[in-house]
Amino acid sequence: MRRLALPPSADFGDLSHAVETLYGRKLRFKEIRGAALHSTTGIVFDAPTFTGVMVAAEDSKYYSLLSRIHELSHLIIRSAPDDWFSAELPRPKQPQQQSRLFLRLCPRNSNETTDEDAVREEALVEELARALVRRLRAFESSSEEDHFA
């Protein structure tokens, strides 16, 4: 997380900007209404000129933020330089960028990535996302406590 070089009082905008730099694409966020996403945290897609991140509009403010950061964490893990990882903490295996699987709904159960890889990536992403939420000042001492109160 230190390698993202966030300012001391970073907010979501700072994190988003850091991920834009890392991923190399303009990021845009939007809430999706009227579609129950069930266990899907969010949707990330590369449109011609930007990368869109969509999360459920019905979620609480806290979960909405957590979901957006969760999706950003996927992008961090996908685009971070190799030296951010190590033998102890390897980058989870992911489908090739040019794979058609990226246009299918779920890259699990393919011959390019297994359930085990997917679960490992989700665990790593969720851990990173929660650490980042704690790092951001916006929810430092209020909304997370309100949410879980």
Per-residue interface string for the shown chain with another protein, residues 63-102, x marking contact by CB under 8 A:
-----------x----------------------x--xxx
Q: In 94-125, which positions are buried (b, 16+ CB within 10 angstroms) versus exposed (e)? A: bbeeeeebeeeeebeebeebeeebbeebeebb
Of 121, 135, 117, residue with least CA distance to 66: 135
Query: Among residue numbers 95 through 124, which ones bind another protein (CB under 8 A)?
Result: 97, 100-108, 110, 118, 122
> In this structure, what are the phi and psi dihedrals at residue 54, rounded to the nearest 5 degrees?
-120, 135
Total interface residues for another protein by CB under 8 A: 37
Q: How far is the CB of 67 from another protein (least distance, A)?
A: 11
Q: How far is the CB of 85 from another protein (least distance, A)?
A: 19
Q: How far is the CB of 115 from another protein (least distance, A)?
A: 11
Of 20, 10, 28, residue with least CA distance to 138: 10
Q: Please report which residue ranges of 1-149 form alpha helices under DSSP H.
A: 12-23, 61-79, 115-135, 143-148
Residue 141 within binding range of another protein, rule CB under 8 A: no
**Which three-class secondary structure string do you get for 104-146?**
CCCCCCCCCCCHHHHHHHHHHHHHHHHHHHHHCHHHCCCHHHH
Per-residue interface string for the shown chain with another protein, residues 16-55, x marking contact by CB under 8 A:
------------x-x-xxxxxxxxxxxxxxxxxxx-x-x-
Compare residues 6 and 44 and give the one whose CB is closer to another protein: 44
Compare residues 10 and 53 and give the one whose CB is closer to another protein: 53
Q: Which residues bind another protein (CB under 8 A)?
A: 28, 30, 32-50, 52, 54, 74, 97, 100-108, 110, 118, 122
